[in-house]
Amino acid sequence: MTPRRIWAAPQGRAAVAVVAVLLAVVAAGAVTDPSGLLAPVGGRGLPLAGTGGAYRWSPLLVGLPVLLAGAAVPVLLVAGRLPPRWVFAAAWVATVGAGAWASAASGVVAAVPMMGAHLPAGLALRYAVSTSGFAALKYLAVGVLVGAGAALAVRAGPAARAEDGPVDGRPVVVVFAVAALAAAGPAAHWWRGGPVGYAFAGFLVAPTAAAGVPGFLLGMAVFLAGVAAVVRVLARRLPGAGGVVGWLACVVAGAGLGVIDAAVAPLAGDPPGAGPDTWWVATAVVAVATGISYGAAVGLTAAVVVVVLDRLAPRWWALPLPRPGTRVRLGALVAAGALLLALAPVLGVTARPGPPAVAAVAGTGGMPRLVVRPAPGRGEPATIADVTGRQVILRGVNVNQLIDYHLRDPAVPATQPLTDDDFAQMAAMGFTVVRLGMSWSRLEPARGRFDESYLREIQAAVAGAKAHGIYTVLDMHQDAWGNALARPAQRCGGGTTPTTGWDGAPAWATVTDGTAHCQFLARDLAPAVATAFGNLYTDRDGIQTELVRTWAFVARAFAGEPAVAGYDLLNEPGIDTAPPVSSGLLLGRFYDAAITAIRAAERAAGGFAHLAFFQPSVLWSGLGFDVAPPPGFTADRQLVFAPHPYSESISMDQSLGLTLASIERNLTVSARAAAAYSAALWAGEWGWFGEPAVDGGKLWRFAAVQDRLGAGGAFWVWRQGCGSPETGADAATSGNLVAVDCRTGASIPPPVPFAEPLSRAYPRALPGRLESLTAGPHGTDLRVTATAPPGPANCQVDIWFPGGTAPRLRTTGVSDASAEQVPGGWRITGCASGAYTVTAS
């Protein structure tokens, strides 16, 4: 058929319609989407192809062509032999699959310049492919429009006639072989073992060894049954199009597998004491996206294999044929596939190495340095311990008093002075840690010049905390990139507002490429904020290199300081407009680069390895889940997963009147995510900002889950100035813990509904491993059970108990138990051995 006749034929008209509708959708998104997250390319206030290398132009020059070709070519091959209703379905499915392809292709190309020591090519490829279904989700709606356009185009002219042929079973055989091979390893990157593995709790139906034998077999059966059902419908009508049929069938079967997993997920049950939520929405998103990306990948592989075999060995490969030899060859293929199927669960997936066991050393007085210790059991997070062998719970508060905030009014300070009295009050509430916010804008105010005076302020804060027995986590803090993004006079429209400016990066590192300073729904979704983060992740003009150098500068100063618990590498990282490649894969690359530089600086200064705290992107804070950096993003083992579980507080869903993840759900899911990284869990920020009498109950719920998990965390925030961006211009008070009266400047003590759960009784450090912890309804009815190894290097239990009344102690396995009164409460000590319990009330 000549090209002119092809485009006049039904399949040609349908393919043209597919391209036309997709281009219209792309154009509409580029003009109307204020965040750039839904638009396939660009967005309002964002360029279609910005400067800055492959990361900026790959969506337009790679992703868009792949999208158009991936959707149009299958329609061109099949529409001439299908009725309009099946053309609609084929175009819809092809659009969804092409969306996954486009995301994977542009993601890989965008990551190429960043590949190297901190980003292996294999990791980048696996991540881009296994997470491509999240971008494809938006094409579930777009595909309906595309399918309708294709079907109408077929109806608009004379229809082609085609006779049914024999069912071609080859795609099913190839898909079987590909899926069986993938199950032994690569398929795990779509489910458990991948960046969203934490979402798959309970029984998993998936063609991966990570699902266990029953889940694997059922997953294979479901996926192959879906493929076979689609092939059975299409193959008779499309003889000779086995590759396209197989691919379409895999996309449908993958989506169907995702729907089944979404339906099965609620059977895992709720965490103990969980409040009502709509977590099924999150699990449905994750499950369906995962299924689509898996189906698209397996389908593409199978289609290529079918086409290659058609070309290279058409006679050997032709099925079905009446000759006995063909049956023998088919039997050989099936036997080989069955062997792969049997071996897949046995081969399994190699678990990520956890932190090494550290030999305990005798205490030398002072504050012992901290390490991450291996998890107590399979599927559990690692734990934080000191070098004397005691498990440590770091419970405390965030301190923002050294952060360089944008000033709305220069006459009204955004922070309050940090004094020794602050640390004394913290110690009197039983706190053992502060998360001390630092600003890159002050550490490196000019490129290549580090501010020694600001470093001395940080050192003074660490020393002040240490004097009161409080560890410090040094936090490279930022909110919405930096204060240089403030544009209060910016003219914005369409429901957007000007960016107000917050804190973080210096002005010289703020590269926004002329994008709009207008925010939609949240400060982090402004195009200028997104572009600045994209330029950080891609090391545009060496921006990331400078931030890594800044971390090395800080690490050298504290290389031998045991009172520094560790380094929180970047607060609430932004997502740019290309998540999850930006805020997952490339964020993980930055983390590895920063950790590598920190370790080199510690060694050069004769120090030791501190804990490395890392977070998922700001989406976790806003939604309670995220496509996180890939497990294995770094070879370092001193890792602490430190998300910000703001569920039922200031998360984005609350503004819509929904709760995606309850308090209990968020912390439980966070623990599963930490376990996937072989990391310890620590809630880097959490808190409530409303009426204490109303929110106090939520703090108690949070505290109960923390105690069940044996996890620490830092409440946001200790003090806050009246000029803080988080405080309204006409607010009477500022802060949610130690507040300040904005008229008089007087401090307001912590409200009792917040102070009680925050200062509740808990073990600061205990030999061996914690097994259970409860603190009672008022924080003064403590029960601890734990097990110490024989002859521990440090047998001393150290327990905080609040209030002025001496606790009544009951112990087993603890000798010389006593309680000593200290400011704000009591310190319970004793020497534990074997299985032991401590109760205090």
Alpha-carbon gap, residue 262 to 840, rounded angstroms? 44
Q: What beta strand segments (E) does 716-808 contain?
A: 733-734, 739-741, 747-748, 762-767, 769-774, 782-788, 796-802
Tokens 């192959």 appear where? Answer: 224
What does each C-alpha distance from 198 to 189, 311, 449, 568, 628 come to in angstroms? 12, 43, 41, 22, 10
Residue 420: DSSP 8-state: H
pLDDT value at residue 163: 59
Quick check: 337 pLDDT over 60? Answer: no
- 660's tokens: 């995606």
Q: Name the phi and psi angles at 555, rounded to 5.
A: -65, -35
Q: In the chain, which segments carry CATH 2.60.40?
A: 761-841
pLDDT value at residue 327: 46
Tell me the one-letter amino acid at 170.
Answer: R
Quick check: 321 pLDDT over 50? Answer: no
User: What is the 3-state secondary structure of 345-362?
Assistant: HHHCCCCCCCCCCCCCCC
198 band by pLDDT with thresholds 50, 70 and 90: very high
Q: What integer best gives the mean pLDDT of the chain?
A: 92
pLDDT value at residue 323: 41
pLDDT value at residue 329: 46
Question: 37-51, 255-269, 549-563: which has the minimum mean pLDDT?
Answer: 37-51
Angle between helices 279-312 and 242-264 (to 10 degrees): 160
Helix (H/G/I), strand (E/B), else coil: 224: helix
Please name the helix (run of DSSP H) or strand (run of DSSP E) that holds residue 324, with its range, or none. helix 324-347
Half-sphere exposure of 52 (CA within 13 A, CB side): 27
pLDDT value at residue 161: 61
Quick check: 510 pLDDT over 80? Answer: yes
pLDDT value at residue 164: 64
pLDDT value at residue 326: 43
CATH of domain 370-481+542-759: 3.20.20.80
pLDDT value at residue 238: 84
pLDDT value at residue 316: 55
Tokens 């450090």 appear where? Answer: 765
Question: 52-56, 154-158, 282-286, 511-515: which has the minimum mean pLDDT?
Answer: 154-158
Alpha-carbon gap, residue 522 to 480, rounded angstroms? 9
Quick check: 118 pLDDT over 50? Answer: yes
- Give the residues across from 818 on adjacent strands: 829
Cβ–Cβ < 8 Å for 840, 808: yes
pLDDT, average across residues 481-505: 93
pLDDT value at residue 732: 97
- 574's tokens: 């932004």
Reference 739, options 729, 730, 731, 749; nearest CA is 749
Alpha-carbon gap, residue 232 to 241, rounded angstroms? 13
Sign of the four-CA dihedral 507, 513, 518, 522: negative
pLDDT, average across residues 602-619: 98
What does each C-alpha distance from 111 to 13, 131, 192, 195 come to in angstroms? 36, 14, 23, 17
Domain over 761-841 is classified CATH 1.10.3470:
no
In angstroms, how far is CA 1 from the centroid of its own chain?
51
Alpha-carbon gap, residue 111 to 104, rounded angstroms? 11
Tell me the one-letter amino acid at 737.
Answer: L
| H helix intervals, 605-734 | 618-623, 663-676, 692-709
pLDDT value at residue 325: 39
Helix (H/G/I), strand (E/B), else coil: 132: helix
Cβ–Cβ < 8 Å for 516, 527: yes
Tell me the one-letter amino acid at 436.
Answer: L
Alpha-carbon gap, residue 219 to 179, rounded angstroms? 10
For 630-676, write each residue's pLDDT tens digit.
999 999 999 999 999 999 999 999 988 999 999 999 999 999 999 99
pLDDT value at residue 335: 52
Tell me the one-letter amino acid at 346.
Answer: V
Residue with the larger pLDDT of the pair 363 and 125: 125
Alpha-carbon gap, residue 250 to 227, rounded angstroms? 6
pLDDT value at residue 237: 82
Please name the helix (run of DSSP H) or strand (run of DSSP E) that holds residue 280, with its range, or none. helix 279-312
pLDDT, average across residues 192-211: 93
Alpha-carbon gap, residue 318 to 170, rounded angstroms? 8
240 band by pLDDT with thresholds 50, 70 and 90: confident
pLDDT value at residue 487: 93
Helix (H/G/I), strand (E/B), else coil: 112: helix
Quick check: 322 pLDDT over 60? Answer: no
Q: Count of CB atoms within 10 A of residue 562's CB?
A: 19
Tokens 């396939």 appear where? Answer: 40
Please name the helix (run of DSSP H) or strand (run of DSSP E) that holds residue 67, with its range, or none. helix 64-78
Alpha-carbon gap, residue 354 to 348, rounded angstroms? 18
In angstroms, how far is CA 771 from the centroid of its own chain?
28
Residue with the larger pLDDT of the pair 4 and 43: 43
Helix (H/G/I), strand (E/B), else coil: 214: helix
Quick check: 821 pLDDT over 80? Answer: yes
Alpha-carbon gap, residue 373 to 544, rounded angstroms? 30
- 252's tokens: 């449908």
pLDDT value at residue 2: 59
pLDDT value at residue 656: 87
Cβ–Cβ < 8 Å for 426, 800: no
Q: In the chain, which segments carry CATH 3.20.20.80?
A: 370-481+542-759
pLDDT value at residue 646: 98
Tokens 């296994």 appear where? Answer: 130
368 band by pLDDT with thresholds 50, 70 and 90: very high
Q: Count of CB atoms within 10 A of residue 462's CB?
A: 21
In angstroms, how far is CA 384 from the centroid of its own chain?
21
Quick check: 319 pLDDT over 60? Answer: no
Please give the full DSSP string across 591-642, using - where no structure is assigned. Answer: HHHHHHHHHHHHHHTT--PPEEEE---HHHHHHS---PPPTTS-S---EEE-
Helix (H/G/I), strand (E/B), else coil: 574: coil
pLDDT, average across residues 591-597: 99
- 396's tokens: 């405390």
How much of the chain, in percent, has pLDDT values that exceed 70?
A: 93
Alpha-carbon gap, residue 379 to 509, rounded angstroms? 40
Helix (H/G/I), strand (E/B), else coil: 178: helix
pLDDT value at residue 469: 98
CA dihedral 45, 46, 50, 56 (to 10 degrees): 160
Cβ–Cβ < 8 Å for 208, 241: no
Q: Name the phi and psi angles at 683, rounded to 5.
A: -80, 100
CA dihedral 689, 695, 698, 704 (to 10 degrees): 90
